[in-house]
């Protein structure tokens, strides 16, 4: 089968200096456009970049019972999502294990769009029953472009002034160059950013307008390599990396609950008790987990001790590696008096250029996620390989995200706010 291309591909292919592509939901997806993904990364953190998110599956859900369908499916209470808002959520199986995560966009009381990384049409149809709902896979009908970074609002406001007042996770219908678009203040970089949804036939014209508006602002395309760096700093989970879908897992060791994945905030009342009586798939299992305290894991951030990490290499006559490309495997974490007790593992480990530290998203036993009175987490020991030898380096657990600029959620237009003070003394 030939790989599909997105509505933006003809123009983006012209901008791709590397010709490097991966496969995403049957589509070609650029790994990077520049010879160095770090250049693309810094564009997003310092100015602006745009990323083609069109391969996401997109389902339009309409009808008088559309809210009822989604409220009975989603772990988070999507009834709180009003027209003109979007909401990030997960959905589970009957045992309370996460099937997938995604974003719902509510255009009207009975008009929703759901985006997801994996196909979900069959699952949605299985929940429909006699509900008055229409479910349509509109994935090929739209292109989606994420415009991210501190200058993203200024760039888009030159084309669609409505974006100036758009709240975090808000959405609005507008026009760019005469083409109807939906603008949402969403993204996957942990920075100020927006996503533009446009009908496929209008996609190229809208992309060209955005590129023109970005001239003088440092706007440039970025690919999957830079995106992985950005989302790890932002503490954003990725399916098949931070978690596996319970739909495809062979054992419970490959399945995770919302609480274990750090999504306890979706459950209400501090993540320790469900806050309403809404029935949804997996509710009873999640209630038992919260009541009995049976969560096996906690998802945390890690700050690697940079002095000890440097010492491991310098003492062996080596340069200290600082690779921003995330490692492609799990890195074990140890604790106990002799550091011989496995207490978890890092799912995504990298050197952060903006934080200038090795950081990770990690899964640890709940006791190691506890925060002390000083505000610091527990110390664990991260397994690393130096000179072909397994060694370990201390690391401190912390709440996610590790990078959280105020501008991400700020309502102040054109604000170039400093990064979160939580990174001080780290």
CATH number at 227 reads 3.30.1360.120
Name residues whose C-beta falls within 8 Å of residue 320's C-beta, 6 or more positions apart in sequence.
309, 310, 313, 314
Q: Looking at the domain assignment, is residue 178 inside a domain?
A: yes
Residues 219, 335 within the same domain: no
CB 304 within 8 A of CB 393: yes
Residues 374, 305 within the same domain: yes
CB 105 within 8 A of CB 113: yes
- If phi > 0 it is left, if psi is from -120 to 50 it is alpha, else beta; for residue 336 that is left
Task: Give the model's pLDDT for residue 274.
Answer: 79
- Give the global pTM: 0.94
Q: Looking at the domain assignment, is residue 92 inside a domain?
A: yes
- Domain that residue 357 falls in: 298-398
Q: With a cut of 50, list the residues of the chain below it in pLDDT.
A: 414-426
Q: How many helices (H) and strands (E) does the chain have?
A: 9, 19
- Distances in Å between the alpha carbon of 53 and those of 5, 224, 416? 12, 10, 25
Name residues whose C-beta falls within 8 Å of residue 359's C-beta, 6 or more positions apart in sequence.
232, 233, 301, 302, 303, 304, 349, 350, 351, 352, 402
E strands in 109-157: 111-116, 134-137, 142-148
Q: Looking at the domain assignment, is residue 236 inside a domain?
A: yes
Q: Looking at the domain assignment, is residue 405 inside a domain?
A: no
Query: How far apart, in whole angstroms, are the C-alpha atoms of residue 181 and residue 177?
Result: 10
Query: How far apart, in whole angstroms, are the C-alpha atoms of residue 329 and residue 327?
Result: 6
Task: Give the model's pLDDT for residue 376.
Answer: 72
Residues 135, 228 within the same domain: yes
pLDDT digits (tens, 9 = 90+) for 250-283: 999 999 999 999 999 999 766 566 777 899 999 9
Q: Looking at the domain assignment, is residue 283 inside a domain?
A: yes
Helix (H) or strand (E) holding 44: helix 37-46
Q: Which residues pair with 358 in a beta bridge?
A: 351
Residues 233, 268 within the same domain: no
End-to-end Cα distance, the chain? 49
Q: Looking at the domain assignment, is residue 417 inside a domain?
A: no
Residues 350, 209 within the same domain: no
pLDDT digits (tens, 9 = 90+) for 348-392: 999 999 999 999 999 999 999 977 666 678 999 999 999 999 999
Name residues whose C-beta falls within 8 Å of residue 206's C-beta, 6 or more positions apart in sequence.
143, 145, 176, 177, 179, 181, 196, 198
Q: Which of 25, 47, 23, 22 is nearest to 33 (CA)?
A: 22
Taking residue 316's Cβ as centre, other Cβ atoms within 10 Å add up to: 11
Q: How many domains does the chain have?
A: 3
Residues 323, 179 within the same domain: no
Q: Which of 333, 386, 388, 323 is nearest to 358 (CA)?
A: 323
Residues 98, 152 within the same domain: yes
Task: Give the model's pLDDT for residue 260.
Answer: 98
Task: Give the model's pLDDT for residue 162.
Answer: 94
Residues 326, 235 within the same domain: no
Residues 285, 226 within the same domain: no
Query: How far apart, in whole angstroms, are the C-alpha atoms of residue 217 and residue 420?
Result: 24
Residues 275, 236 within the same domain: no
Q: Can you list the alpha helix ranges (DSSP code H) found in 158-305?
A: 203-213, 224-233, 283-292
Query: How far apart, in whole angstroms, are the C-alpha atoms of residue 422 and residue 259?
Result: 23
Residues 165, 275 within the same domain: no
Q: Looking at the domain assignment, is residue 4 inside a domain?
A: yes
Q: Looking at the domain assignment, is residue 388 inside a domain?
A: yes
Residues 92, 161 within the same domain: yes
């Amino acid at each position: 089968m030939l790989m599909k291309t997105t509505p933006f591909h003809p123009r983006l292919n012209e901008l791709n200096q590397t010709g490097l592509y991966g496969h995403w939901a049957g589509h070609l997806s650029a790994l990077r456009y520049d010879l160095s993904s770090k250049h693309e990364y810094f564009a997003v953190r310092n100015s602006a970049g745009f990323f083609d998110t069109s391969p996401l599956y997109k389902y339009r859900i309409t009808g008088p019972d559309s809210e009822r369908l989604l409220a009975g499916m989603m772990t988070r209470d999507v009834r709180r999502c009003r027209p003109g808002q979007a909401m990030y959520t997960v959905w589970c199986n009957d045992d309370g294990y996460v099937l997938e995560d995604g974003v719902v966009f509510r255009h009207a009381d009975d008009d929703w769009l759901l985006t997801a990384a994996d196909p979900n049409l069959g699952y949605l149809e299985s929940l429909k029953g006699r509900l008055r709902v229409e479910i349509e896979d509109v994935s090929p009908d739209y292109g989606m472009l994420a415009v991210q970074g501190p200058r993203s609002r200024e760039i888009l406001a030159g084309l669609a002034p409505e974006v100036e007042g758009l709240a975090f996770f808000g959405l609005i219908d507008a026009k760019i160059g005469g083409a109807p678009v939906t603008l949402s203040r969403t993204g996957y970089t942990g920075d100020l950013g927006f996503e533009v949804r446009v009908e496929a036939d209008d996609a190229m014209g809208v992309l060209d307008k955005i590129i023109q508006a970005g001239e003088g602002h440092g706007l440039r395309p970025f690919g999957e390599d830079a995106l992985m760096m950005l989302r790890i700093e932002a503490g954003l989970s990725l399916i098949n990396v931070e978690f596996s879908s319970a739909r495809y897992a062979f054992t419970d060791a490959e399945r995770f609950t919302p609480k274990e994945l750090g999504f306890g905030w979706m459950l209400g009342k501090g993540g320790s008790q469900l806050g309403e009586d809404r029935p949804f798939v997996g509710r009873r299992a999640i209630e038992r987990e919260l009541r009995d305290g049976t969560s096996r894991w906690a998802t945390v951030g890690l700050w690697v001790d940079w002095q000890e990490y440097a010492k491991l290499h310098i003492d062996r006559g080596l340069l200290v590696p600082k690779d921003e490309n995330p490692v492609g495997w799990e890195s074990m974490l140890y604790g106990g008096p002799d550091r011989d007790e496995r207490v978890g593992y890092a799912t995504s480990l990298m050197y952060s250029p903006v934080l200038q530290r090795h950081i990770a998203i990690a899964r640890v036993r709940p006791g190691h996620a506890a925060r002390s009175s000083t505000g610091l987490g527990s110390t664990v020991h991260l397994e690393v390989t130096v000179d072909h030898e397994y060694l370990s380096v201390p690391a401190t657990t912390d709440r996610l995200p590790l990078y959280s600029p105020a501008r991400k959620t700020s309502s102040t237009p054109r604000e170039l706010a400093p990064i979160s003070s939580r990174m001080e003394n780290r």
